[in-house]
Structure 1
Amino acid sequence: MNPPEIFDRAARRLRRDRIASRFAEADFLRSFMTEGLLERLNAVTREFGDVLDLGCFDAGLALPGTRIVRADPGFAFARAAGGVQCDEDRLPFADGSFDLIVSAGTLDQVNDLPGALSLIRRALRPDGLFLAAFTGGSTLATLRATFMAAERERPAARVHPQVNLLSAGDLLMRAGFALPVADSETLNVRYASLGRLIEDLRGMAATSLLVDRAPLSRAALMAAAERFSERADADGRVPEQFEVIYLTGWAPSPDQPKPARRGSATVSLAEALRSKR
């Protein structure tokens, strides 16, 4: 049984194509994500040869000394990067193709995220590494509250549902990754107006892609802008947050360390603690 289609695949491709030539004007969030991913990668002591940059945008992720295949849900990004256009839950790559798969900024817009993670794990070679970053559940809390207040009588979903940190870790385990880790960071941005925030979201192709998204009336937009401005600080700016969830997982390998078998300890916890006194 196929999962329901939450996101409009055609709209996703179209919006990414529209912003491809000017993405550099709104790439701050993805730059924040890639910086976090590179920090995590630098902590790994092994080398990687074949890399998949999944959701490559403008191919800004640089990994010297590696062979990088670029892939993106948008045709324009994929073509400019000399890569492959594909959705993350419909990967065209053979099993065991890569040592490292990196994804920054797209997994929050995937219809079948569990399926996508399983395909990613299969595309890795044994002991291959998967690193990902995407926006999590507390992202755009101010924007959500603003539209809820503006459309109180007939509220509509204006921001798509997002994965929380606990669920992200569970999804890694379900997909069969070894040594799974999920953690998060928050990027705070201050905006002078609702229009400026929406402009940024459009510039990074991050506006709602829900299949059943409702049109936004001019009256509702004006009311939301007023509610947004009411939240301004002393400098006339409104704080908004982007929660970035990071995933780290390894393709299973016989050489990896494994947790000790339950009940195999030779010293009790109480004895261990007594010995430190």
Structure 2
Amino acid sequence: MTQALTDRHALALHRARATAFFMQEEAVAEVQDRLSEVNRTFTKPVVVTGFPHLWPDFPTIADDEVLALQPETHDLVINALTLQWANDPVGQLVQCRRSLQPDGLFIGLLFGGQTLTELRVSLAQAEAEVMGGLSPRVLPMAEIRDLGGLLQRSGFALPVADSFTKTVLYRDAFHLMRDLRAMGEGNALAARLRHPTRRAVLARAAEIYAQNYASPDGLIRATFEIICLTGWAPHEGQQKPLRPGTAAARLEDALKAAAKDS
């Protein structure tokens, strides 16, 4: 059996101590914006989340490995920034897909591969210099180019994957790491070191971070990439994609015509 990526017990403890929810609130706002663009009223929604208090208007379930979902019971399933912690993300997507009624909508948000690149690079360089090697510290995150394929493998129709980034400024790397703990996003990797990191590693990482990623006013930047996945449960009335080479007009021409009409 493959070793689990995430220590679910440690993740639950981190979330229980969380006090900063600005990225989770960003996810709530993004979902609301996307739903406002869908000409549809959803009556049987459910949200998969580690922070149910942020979704007071929706029924919620925990992001356990086996989700508390029944087949074809929902017309909307939202997965709110939990997939990056899933030991089996494809399995999670399949469970969400099976719980949708025909023509039901799935919206999933997760942290993408550009998230915390500055911190990951700084920690890796510092640990290599001070300790002579690397240890698992930051959650490996999926790239957007891979996630559209995962939606298709999971049985979704009309799959779309897109992303946006948020840049947050901090006083220093220690401020950022404290904020990550406050967000409930501390190191919950199953393979993490089980003893405190040497202060020399953290101090050197902070130096590298400041040298490479400081703004003119001396603050450091931290990048958060949120990938948004959407897909529909198949239904015979849905639009079918054309076979390659059968389109009657080029996308470029259609976009130019739309811009001219507007």
CA offset digits 1:84-107 (Å, max 9, x no partner): xxx1x3112210111101122111
RMSD between aligned residues: 2.2
Distance 1:17 1:186, change over 3 A: same
Structure 1 residue ranges without an equivalent (≥5): 74-86
Pairing of 1:36-75 with structure 2 (within 5 A):
36-61=30-55, 63=57, 68-73=58-63
- Give runs of aligned pairs for residues 143-222 of structure 1, distance below 5 A: 143-152=119-128, 153-214=132-193, 215=195, 216-222=197-203
Query: What SS does the aligned partner of 2:166 have?
Result: strand
Determine which of 204, 217, 223 is the counterpart of 1:241: 223
Q: Give the equivalent residue in structure 2 for 1:17.
A: 16
Q: Structure 1: how far apart are the matches of 2:244 and 2:121?
A: 46
Contact map agreement 1:96 1:122 (CA 8 A) in 2:
yes
Give the Cα–Cα distance (whole angstroms) in 2 for the partners of residues 268 and 219 of structure 1. 61
**Using the alignment, how far apart are the partners of 1:242 and 1:160 within structure 2?**
13
Q: Distance in 2 between matches of 1:268 and 1:247?
A: 27
| Corresponding residue number in structure 1 for 2:88 | 112
Contact 1:56 1:103 in 2 (8 A): no
The separation in 1 between residues aligned to 2:50 and 2:200, in whole angstroms, is 37
Deviation, structure 1 residue 218: 2.0
Distance 1:114 1:268 in 2: 35
Which whole-Å CA distance do the structure 1 matches of 2:139 and 2:245 have between them? 44
1:31-65 per-residue CA deviation (whole Å, 9 max, x = no partner) reads 222222221111110110011111151422355xx
- Over 3 Å counting, the alpha-carbon distance change for 1:268 and 1:229 in structure 2 is closer
Q: CA deviation at 1:225?
A: 2.0
Amino acid across the alignment from 1:46: R
Residues in 1 aligned to 2:2 and 2:93: alpha-carbon distance in whole angstroms = 14
Equivalent position amino acid for 1:15 in 2: H
Work out the CA distance in 1 between the residues paired with 2:31 and 2:249.
Answer: 38
Whichever residue aligns with residue 54 of structure 2, its letter is G
Alpha-carbon distance in structure 2 between the residues aligned to 1:263 and 1:145: 43
Shift of 1:240: 1.1
Q: For residues 249 and 174 of structure 2, what CA distance do their matches in structure 1 show?
A: 60
Per-residue deviation, 1:72 = 2.4
Q: Which moved more, 1:142-151 or 1:219-228?
A: 219-228
Deviations 1:231-256 (A, max 9, x none): 32221101110011000011111121
Instruction: List alignment gaps of at least 5 residues for structure 2.
Output: 258-262
Residue pair 1:53, 1:103 contacting (<8 A) in 2 also: yes
Which of the numbers 199, 205, 223 marks the counterpart of 1:224? 205
Contact 2:165 2:226 in 1 (8 A): yes
Deviation track 1:80-130 (CA, whole Å, cap 9, x = no partner) reads xxxxxxx1x311221011110112211110000000000000011111101
Distance verdict in 2 for CA 1:58–1:122, change over 3 Å = closer
Identity across matched positions, percent:
37
Equivalents in 1 of 2:117, 2:165: separation in Å? 12
Runs ≥4 in structure 1, deviation > 3 angstroms? 260-265
Aligned to 1:151, the other structure's residue is in SS state helix
Measured at CA, do residues 47 and 145 of structure 1 come closer, stay the same or move farther in structure 2, by a change above 3 Å? same
Deviation readout 1:174-213 (Å, 9 max, x if unpaired): 0000000000001001111111111111111112221111
Contact kept? 2:42, 2:76, Cα under 8 Å: yes
The normalised TM-score by structure 1 is 0.82
